[in-house]
């Protein structure tokens, strides 16, 4: 059954001149049929550079939106339109307008995990891979409103020794792990280094041996001499880690770190969207044009 689906996807991909972009948190079998698997920044770059006519984006809604913003001449499809991001939903244009009024001299740095409307109101975007560098590129005396992830923002503050105006949003998947759970996992695997994503709580980050975006976690695990590693991010990444590092063993910092939205991507749905050419992710032109500016600024600086 799965083999038939994969064969159908393969012929539809060729027929539609489609590229399938897959986030590191998507289910393993979806990662395996992707033309490219990566983090938000890598996938944004691929979306901007592809010469395919169709992009099938196996991630969550804001990622497909970013692809549509960067490739207005392509058809961007999502296997499941319901795959949203709770953290992105924690920032609304009305609230950001209030922040802008309250801090009129502040610049707005927005994590790509946000809606197109929020990006359109921002000065520059960032990802978890480049947030420290992007914020660090602003003069020391400039106030920065950091939207929407307070944990990533707190990590940037700590790395740069600089206070930011933090939006109170968070990723439920990463926020879910508590210090006691991480310590318990450490006790079960003594000696294994811990690497976590900066969307985790500050006390988790303080406890870890290393911190990084998904691409940085992948690199760390490739390069470390340790044969057992504890990984504190969405558990979908374990598939790729195990595939790329056959001699090493990976443990989730907590087995409950899963993102139900990422898991809405399935092989069947990838096949169906390529058959139906729907749902198409599109934006009104004005929002897309305004949102493109902070994303392109980020890509130029990264």
User: Residue numbers of the site for ligand SF4 (CB under 6 A)?
Assistant: 25, 60, 85-87, 113, 171-173, 234, 259, 261-262
Report, in Å, the least distance between residue 149 CB and ligand SF4: 8
In the bound state with ligand SF4, the residue whose beta carbon lies nearer, of 12 and 76, is 76
Report, in Å, the least distance between residue 102 CB and ligand SF4: 26
In the bound state with ligand SF4, the residue whose beta carbon lies nearer, of 111 and 138, is 111
Report, in Å, the least distance between residue 229 CB and ligand SF4: 20
In the bound state with ligand SF4, the residue whose beta carbon lies nearer, of 68 and 257, is 257
Q: How far apart, in whole angstroms, are the C-alpha atoms of residue 262 and residue 302?
A: 25
Report, in Å, the least distance between residue 174 CB and ligand SF4: 6
Residue 144, strand partner residues: 107
Cα dihedral across residues 215, 220, 221, 222: positive or negative: positive
Report, in Å, the least distance between residue 30 CB and ligand SF4: 14
Report, in Å, the least distance between residue 262 CB and ligand SF4: 6
In the bound state with ligand SF4, the residue whose beta carbon lies nearer, of 106 and 149, is 149
Contact 48, 38 (CB under 8 A): no
Cα dihedral across residues 86, 87, 88, 91: positive or negative: positive
Report, in Å, the least distance between residue 141 CB and ligand SF4: 31
Cβ density class 196-219: b for 16+ within 10 Å, e for less: bbbbbbeebbebbebbbbbbbbbe
Report, in Å, the least distance between residue 234 CB and ligand SF4: 5
Q: Looking at residue 1, what DSSP letter applies?
A: -
Residue 195, strand partner residues: 210, 231
Structure-block tokens of residue 17: 């001149």
SS3 sequence of 37-82: EECHHHHHHHHHHCCCCEEEEECCHHHHHHHHHHCCCCEEECCCCC
Q: Looking at residue 149, what DSSP letter applies?
A: B
In the bound state with ligand SF4, the residue whose beta carbon lies nearer, of 71 and 113, is 113
In the bound state with ligand SF4, the residue whose beta carbon lies nearer, of 52 and 259, is 259
SS3 content of the chain, % helix, strand, coil (to 5): 50, 15, 35
In the bound state with ligand SF4, the residue whose beta carbon lies nearer, of 62 and 250, is 62
- Which of 25, 51, 18 has its CA nearest to residue 39? 25
In the bound state with ligand SF4, the residue whose beta carbon lies nearer, of 106 and 196, is 196
């Amino acid at each position: 059954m799965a083999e038939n689906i994969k064969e159908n996807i393969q012929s539809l991909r060729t027929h539609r001149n489609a590229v399938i972009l897959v986030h590191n948190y998507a289910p393993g079998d979806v990662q395996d049929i992707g033309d490219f698997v990566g983090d938000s920044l890598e996938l944004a770059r691929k979306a901007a550079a592809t010469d395919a006519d169709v992009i099938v984006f196996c991630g969550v809604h804001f990622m497909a939106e970013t692809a549509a913003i960067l490739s207005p001449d392509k058809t961007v499809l999502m296997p499941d339109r319901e795959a949203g991001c709770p953290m992105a939903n924690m920032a609304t244009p009305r609230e950001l307008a209030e922040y802008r009024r309250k801090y009129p001299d502040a610049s707005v740095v927005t994590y790509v995990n946000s809606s197109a409307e929020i990006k359109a109101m921002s000065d520059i975007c960032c990802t978890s891979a480049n947030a420290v560098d992007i914020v660090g590129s602003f003069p020391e005396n400039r106030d920065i409103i950091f939207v929407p992830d307070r944990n990533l923002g707190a990590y940037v503050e700590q790395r740069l020794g600089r206070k930011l105006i933090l939006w109170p949003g968070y990723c439920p998947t990463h926020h879910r792990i508590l210090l006691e759970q991480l310590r318990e996992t450490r006790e079960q695997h003594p000696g294994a280094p811990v690497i976590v994503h900066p969307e985790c709580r500050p006390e988790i980050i303080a406890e870890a041996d290393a911190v990084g975006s998904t691409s940085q976690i992948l690199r760390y695990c490739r390069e470390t001499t340790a044969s057992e590693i504890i990984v504190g991010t969405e558990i979908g990444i374990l598939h790729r880690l195990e595939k790329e590092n056959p001699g090493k063993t990976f443990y989730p910092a907590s087995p409950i770190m899963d993102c139900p939205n990422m898991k809405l991507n399935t092989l069947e749905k990838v096949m169906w969207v390529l058959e139906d050419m729907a749902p198409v992710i599109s934006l009104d032109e004005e929002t897309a044009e305004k949102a493109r500016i902070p994303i392109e600024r980020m890509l130029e600086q990264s």
